[in-house]
Amino acid sequence: MKTSLRSLAAAATLSVSAIALSALTMAGTAQAGATFDGVKQKGYVQCGVNLGLYGFSAPDDKGHWAGLDVDMCRAVAAAMFGDSEKVKYTPLSAQQRLPALQSGEIDLLARNTTRTLTRDTANGLNFGPTNYYDGQGFMVSAKLGLKSAKQLNGATVCVLPGTTTEQNVSDYFRANKMNFKPVVIEKNEELNKAFFAGRCDALTSDASQLAAIRAAEAQNPNDYVILPELISKEPLSPAVRQGDEEWTNLVTWAFYVMVQAEEKGLTSENVDNALTSPDPDVKRLLGVTAGNGKALNVDEKWAYNIVKQVGNYGESYERNVGAGSKLKMARGQNALYTDGGLMYAPPLK
């Protein structure tokens, strides 16, 4: 029985690979998935974003969405339609985000979502490349003169309950043989107020959120510092539903274009000049040498449109969360691999 099942499975695998092979050999006529076709037909990308997290996805005073995650949505729209504005945004809470994607209400989830094994499997999602490497950190008053989280022995720490924040901070102090007193408040605003009033020596959360809280709520943001230690891994990544490889591919490579463009020094300013570049990599990237667009079933100008309209990853980073924004976060792990970071695009060929 067991063997017959196994042979059946093997046969099934074989036939699936046979279909895949035949699809590959008939390049260009690859079967489009439901999401890819649906998006193409309706003419815009329905993108799930945060209710309002400055630097990642928040509407500005004119109601125009901006942020690192918003740029992810725009890049996909630019690749698909040649117009980065063909996006409709669905603001989602942490509880709503996964059901919204699973049920098909949105096509793409770019909402500072940590990629985990459970979400990638049991929850029926597929993740694109990480567009922000985050981790839980500590923010303290600059007056304390602390240089490291290892100096926090005996401190009172404000913690937002919710995901695994409480356990992470307990683990960290235990591992370093230090004591602390948590103050756990369910409401974000109350917790932040308590911290800025001096109830706690440190506030702990994802480092990007600490920076956003500091920029938006501190009376003088320079009075607070974020300590260098990150005590957990939070790779924030865009997510799509399982079952549409074509759509997953487009989201994945749309992001890699931004990273590759930064590596090649292409920006929204100079990309027009780069069209005449003799570099074969740049030629392939910008569609001067055809091939990539056809493989993804989009226009050959797809990558050019992303760089021209959204910019490369570095531009997007600096504009939204880096030096050009209120958050002023250093590149750190989010620098290109050539600068010691983790951002690395596979060859686009």
Residues that bind another protein (CB under 8 A): 122, 153-156, 161-164, 166-167, 169-171, 173-174, 180-187, 190-191, 193-194, 197-199, 201
| Closest-CA residue to 247 (of 13, 73, 26, 36) | 36
At how many degrees (to 10) do helices 313-320 and 245-263 cross? 80
Q: Using CA atoms, how far apart are residues 249 and 33, in angstroms rounded to an integer?
A: 11
At how many degrees (to 10) do helices 302-309 and 68-81 cross? 140
Give me 110's structure tokens.
């770019």
Q: Which is nearer to another protein, 191 or 210 (CB)?
A: 191
Q: Minimum distance between the CB of residue 207 and another protein, rounded to whole angstroms?
A: 20
Q: Which is nearer to another protein, 13 or 164 (CB)?
A: 164
Q: Which is nearer to another protein, 61 or 189 (CB)?
A: 189
Residue 291: phi and psi, rounded to 5, are: 145, -55
Q: Minimum distance between the CB of residue 216 and another protein, rounded to whole angstroms?
A: 19
Q: Minimum distance between the CB of residue 242 and another protein, rounded to whole angstroms?
A: 17
Radius of gyration of the chain, Cα coordinates, nearest whole angstrom:
22
Q: Which is nearer to another protein, 31 or 164 (CB)?
A: 164
Give me 125's structure tokens.
């999602």
Q: Using CA atoms, how far apart are residues 257 and 142, in angstroms rounded to an integer?
A: 39
Q: Are residues 27 and 20 in contact, defined by beta-carbon separation less than 8 angstroms?
A: no
Q: Minimum distance between the CB of residue 317 and another protein, rounded to whole angstroms?
A: 32
Q: Which is nearer to another protein, 168 or 267 (CB)?
A: 168
Q: Which is nearer to another protein, 64 or 187 (CB)?
A: 187
| Closest-CA residue to 271 (of 296, 300, 306) | 306
Question: Which residues, including other chains, have CB under 8 Å from residue 150's CB and lie 6 or more apart?
Answer: 176, 178, 229
Q: Which is nearer to another protein, 172 or 247 (CB)?
A: 172
Strands 58-59, 65-66: parallel, antiparallel or unpaired by DSSP?
antiparallel
Give me 277's structure tokens.
């570049």
Q: Minimum distance between the CB of residue 16 and another protein, rounded to whole angstroms?
A: 26
Q: Minimum distance between the CB of residue 204 and another protein, rounded to whole angstroms?
A: 12
Q: Which is nearer to another protein, 161 or 340 (CB)?
A: 161
Identity at 157, one-letter amino acid code: V
**CA 249 vs CA 6, 176, 269, 333, 335: distances in Å:** 30, 42, 27, 24, 23
| Closest-CA residue to 263 (of 322, 319, 346) | 346
Q: Minimum distance between the CB of residue 149 and another protein, rounded to whole angstroms?
A: 13
Q: Which is nearer to another protein, 85 or 171 (CB)?
A: 171
Q: Minimum distance between the CB of residue 185 and another protein, rounded to whole angstroms?
A: 4
At how many degrees (to 10) do helices 34-42 and 245-263 cross? 70
Q: Minimum distance between the CB of residue 298 and another protein, rounded to whole angstroms?
A: 37
DSSP label at residue 271: H
